[in-house]
């Protein structure tokens, strides 16, 4: 079973309560399944709703934050093992290196960028982790539709749908990670490129 789950999520405190409830539920379920959490290190928004709840339920939590954000004073002061990196690129690399699975909760441009990078990493065979998009309240419906546009217009291949899993609920997301069976075959040119 995967040990550490990387959580990407919004730092906004002004999103609808349903997103907070979903984030808290995910944190609770990950902790109860004995997963450790890797996240962005913030005390804000859905990031903290998920990881704070995981901490309350006994999970070990690792926060990874770039120096610039750390200097803004948004890092948590709770019982999180915090690493401060030089920049966003080194932050993402560290989060990737430390994690065995990824869940993208609803979020803004930062979450979208992190999710996109993980999709490409898996597409090219740099990792074989379960990659879950938590579609709380249909938040990612339009993104899933756009992914289908990418595939239907031959900017991507049909097998690219297998890179990620769109979960409707936190329970669905955690079950997917627990039962994930990685494809151990080598990624080939035909897997990657549309010709």
Residue 124's pLDDT is: 94
Residue 183's pLDDT is: 87
State the Cα–Cα distance between residues 150 and 25, nearest whole angstrom.
32
Residue 195's pLDDT is: 85
Spatial CA neighbour of 99 closest among 176, 182, 23, 8: 8
Contact 66/85 with Cβ under 8 angstroms?
Answer: yes
CB neighbours of 14 closer than 8 A, spacing ≥ 6? none
State the Cα–Cα distance between residues 113 and 180, nearest whole angstrom.
24
Residue 2's pLDDT is: 62
What does pTM read for this prediction? 0.96
Element (H, E) at 121: helix 109-123
Count Cβ neighbours within 10 Å for each residue of 79-113 and write b for 16 or more, e otherwise.
ebeebbbeebeebbebbbeebbbbbbbbbeeebee
Q: What's the helix, strand, coil split of the chain in %, to 5? A: 50, 15, 35
State the Cα–Cα distance between residues 174 and 36, nearest whole angstrom.
13
Task: Put the strands of the sheet holding 36-39 in their side by side order.
Answer: 81-85, 61-66, 36-39, 4-8, 101-104, 131-134, 165-167
CATH architecture of 4-140+166-186: 3-Layer(aba) Sandwich (3.40)
Only one residue has tokens 């770039």, namely 66
pLDDT by residue for the chain (195 residues), tens only, comes to 569 999 999 999 999 999 999 999 999 999 999 999 999 999 999 999 999 999 999 999 999 999 999 999 999 888 999 999 999 999 999 999 999 999 999 999 999 999 999 999 999 999 999 999 999 999 999 999 999 999 999 999 999 999 999 999 999 999 999 999 998 888 888 888 888
Residue 194's pLDDT is: 87
């Amino acid at each position: 079973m995967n040990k550490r789950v990387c959580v990407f999520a919004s730092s906004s405190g002004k999103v609808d309560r349903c997103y907070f409830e979903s984030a808290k539920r995910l944190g609770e379920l990950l902790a109860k399944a004995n997963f450790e959490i890797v996240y962005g290190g913030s005390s804000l928004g859905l990031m903290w709703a998920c990881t704070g709840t995981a901490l309350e339920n006994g999970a070990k939590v690792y926060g990874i934050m770039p120096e610039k954000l750390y200097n803004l004073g948004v890092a948590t002061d709770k019982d999180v093992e915090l690493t401060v990196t030089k920049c966003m690129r080194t932050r993402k690399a560290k989060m990737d290196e430390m994690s065995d699975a990824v869940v993208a909760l609803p979020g803004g441009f930062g979450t979208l960028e992190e999710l996109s990078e993980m999709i490409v990493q898996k597409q090219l065979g740099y990792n074989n982790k379960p990659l879950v998009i938590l579609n709380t309240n249909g938040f990612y419906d339009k993104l899933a539709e756009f992914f289908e546009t990418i595939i239907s217009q031959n900017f991507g291949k049909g097998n690219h749908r297998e890179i990620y899993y769109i979960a409707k609920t936190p329970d669905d997301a955690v079950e997917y990670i627990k039962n994930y069976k990685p494809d151990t075959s080598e990624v080939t040119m035909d897997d990657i490129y549309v010709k």
